[in-house]
Amino acid sequence: MKPILIATSNSGKLRDFAGAAQSHGVEVKSVPGFSSLPRAIEDGPTFDSNARKKAEHYSRFLSGEIVLADDSGLEIDALGGAPGVHSARYAAEKPHRTETNTDDEANNARVLRQLKGMPRDRRTGRFVCVIAAARDGQTVATFRGEAEGIILDRPRGSGGFGYDPLFYFPQIQKTFAQLAPEEKARYSHRGAAFRKFLAWYDQK
């Protein structure tokens, strides 16, 4: 099987995808020359719309190839679903108006401030990932994965990225930042979405 092309330069996402791919005997790679390509504008209101925008945009540079792009983030029930699609730039004063991601620690700090003093039973949330597969500028399929958990009141673990140190997964009593990439892929939103993609891809 040819390597599966992912439209991202995010090292954390590439580790997640590689971890999910390893048990299936497939290889994932970033789109060739990704950093030199014009950037896709992620201004959609949903994970689905942003994943489609990115996959369609970057697939235009690789004629005939299937290109994957994902949009993902954390939805916290007590915050009305925030940070949601603004997860990567949540620390910005107006995250919906910037295309530049903010620092992971700053994003986590804002969440902790907003949840300060809130009891554990109200700190529920989920990671969501939507993967879009596109060819020649057209989306051919999308795949959604979710992981339900609890938002801790302090970080735990040194692995992962983004909100992983705050996201406690009750099923294994660890945060996503306490897991190796292959283990994380078994439980994560990105791993779930990627497995759905692979089942579809195997039928192609």
The pLDDT assigned to 1 comes to 67
The pLDDT assigned to 202 comes to 85
**pLDDT tens digit at each of 204 positions of the chain:** 689 999 998 999 999 999 889 878 899 999 999 999 999 998 999 999 999 999 999 999 999 999 999 999 999 999 999 999 999 999 997 877 677 789 999 999 999 999 999 999 999 999 999 999 999 999 999 999 999 999 999 999 999 999 999 999 999 999 999 999 989 999 999 999 999 999 999 887
The pLDDT assigned to 66 comes to 96
Contacts of 128 (CB under 8 A, 6+ apart): 47, 72, 73, 74, 75, 144, 145, 146, 189
The pLDDT assigned to 152 comes to 98
164 in active site: no
* 68: β partners: 6, 133
Task: Identify the active-site residue in 16, 48, 70, 71.
Answer: 71
Domains of the chain, CATH where assigned: 4-202 (3.90.950.10)
In this structure, are residues 195 and 129 in contact, taking their beta carbons and an 8 Å threshold? no
Of 54, 104, 58, 115, nearest to 82 by C-alpha is 115
The pLDDT assigned to 24 comes to 83
Model pTM score:
0.93
d(Cα 70, Cα 133) in Å, to the nearest integer?
9
Phi/psi region, residue 126 (left: phi>0; alpha: psi -120 to 50; beta: rest), is: beta
The pLDDT assigned to 107 comes to 97
d(Cα 52, Cα 127) in Å, to the nearest integer?
18
String of DSSP letters for 36-77: GSPPP----SSHHHHHHHHHHHHHTTSTT-EEEEEEEEEEEG
* 135: β partners: 66, 138
d(Cα 132, Cα 138) in Å, to the nearest integer?
10
Longest dimension (CA), the chain: 52
